[in-house]
Chains A and B, each alone.
Chain A
Amino acid sequence: MSVSVNPIVETYSRLAHEYDDEANFRSCWGRASERALSSIRLQDDYRLVVDLGCGSGRAIHALAAAAPHTQFVGVDPAENMCCVAARKTELQKRVQIRQGSFENIPLESASVDYLFSILAFHWVTDLAASVAELARVLKPNGEMDLFFIGRDNGREFIQKTSGIFLKYMGPALLLESARLRKQLTRDAAFQLFADVFDPSCLSVEESFRTYYDTLDGHWSWWVRVEGHFVKIPADKKAQCDRDVRVALQALTEPEGIPYTIHELHVRVRRGTLS
């Protein structure tokens, strides 16, 4: 089955074999992902745990190693990511990797005890359909943690590079690329999930964390968002890259070049959240 229907999925699939590179792991996105992963606490009574947007399987591999009696399913739309994740977890017999998406989760209704997702939900193509699917697969007392980027993510870079991308992409492609991301405010995210989940079991926290890195350090994770730029004509891509690097270098502070991740954390818990 192939569900690689959008440029983001195709880009991630193409980059799957470099995704676990050390440079990506050390980047702001690698650090933010590890931070989210370290906050996850699996309960003893979880029988089925799902990682949606599992990528190369790094998180599910780590969690499964520490929870020997729990079944795990990792889901990702990118075919090559699924292959990498399957290889990584092939010795973990309670881990399955399936191709699917937020909009089409390949799991039975009311089957999941705990679902988590780290920095993937902002790539959905249909917000309402995705939230409905999450509610469908979770058990009535199921729990969930979704970490994804919010409306004000990467303000430093956006302000410095928007004019450059406008120049090389033109208005139509620039706005088309913006449409690929669903970056919500905290209030919009709460409303979106409260339409489907019991608001008394739901919370949405937001954080702003600034990560400093070198230009090459930041550039190493730029591949992760390359899907935005796949439509830049090849003859303009090199010059565009050069201009963007110059613009980002100009942001340099004593600690390095800043990038602020605006992260939203949607939590669904049994009973009422205090």
Chain B
Amino acid sequence: MTQEQLLRLLIDWIKTNKRTSNHMDIFPDTELLESGILDSFAFLDLILYVESKTGLQIDLADADPREFAIVRGLSNLALKSQPVQPCP
């Protein structure tokens, strides 16, 4: 999946599931957490969604808090992730 495709996947999901009621548009540089667009529960759902759609396992251990809550930062984190390993 290209970065452009992943950004589109993220933005579409966020638009559908955002926690704010206003009609704010979502861009790659939109901050999601402090803005209230997503809360931590929604972030969990989003990560599970991205993992299910991409087959990637997003490793949060080394994620940069400043980048994590920005659409493009989350996209970059996902693109650096490894595919889910099949069970032996």
Given known A162-B34, A175-B47, contact A170–B40 (CB-CB < 8 A): no
Instruction: Please choose the segment from A34-42, A176-184, A233-241 that sits at the chain B interface, where 4 or more of its residues have CB less than 8 A away.
Output: A176-184
Residues of A within 8 A of B63 (CB): 170-172
Shortest Cβ-Cβ A-B pairs, 8 listed: A163-B34, A178-B40, A172-B60, A159-B36, A171-B63, A171-B68, A171-B60, A162-B33
Given known A162-B34, A163-B34, A175-B47, contact A151–B65 (CB-CB < 8 A): no
Query: In residues 165-196 of chain A, which contact B (Cβ within 8 Å)?
Result: 166-167, 170-172, 174-175, 177-179, 181, 183
Residues of A within 8 A of B51 (CB): none
Measured as residues with beta carbon below 8 angstroms from the partner, the interface class of chain B is 10 to 19
Q: Quick one: CB contact mask for B33-69 with A, threshold 8 Å, 1 for yes?
A: 1101001110110010000000000001101010011
Q: Could you jot down 20 A-B contacts, CB within 8 Å?
A: A155-B36, A155-B39, A158-B36, A158-B39, A158-B40, A162-B34, A162-B39, A163-B33, A163-B34, A163-B69, A166-B65, A166-B69, A170-B65, A171-B60, A172-B63, A175-B44, A178-B40, A178-B41, A179-B44, A181-B41
Task: List residues of A whose CB falls within 8 A of some B CB.
Answer: 151, 155, 158-159, 162-163, 166-167, 170-172, 174-175, 177-179, 181, 183
Task: List residues of B whose CB falls within 8 A of some A CB.
Answer: 19, 33-34, 36, 39-41, 43-44, 47, 60-61, 63, 65, 68-69
Q: Which of these, A155, A167, A177, contacts B40 with CB under 8 Å? A: A177
- For the residues of B in contact with A, the DSSP-based class is loop
How far in angstroms is the closest Cβ of chain B from A12?
A: 21
How far in angstroms is the closest Cβ of chain A from B82?
A: 16
Q: Which of these, B34, B36, B40, contacts A174 with CB under 8 Å? A: B40
Residues of B within 8 A of A155 (CB): 19, 36, 39
Residues of A within 8 A of B41 (CB): 151, 178, 181, 183
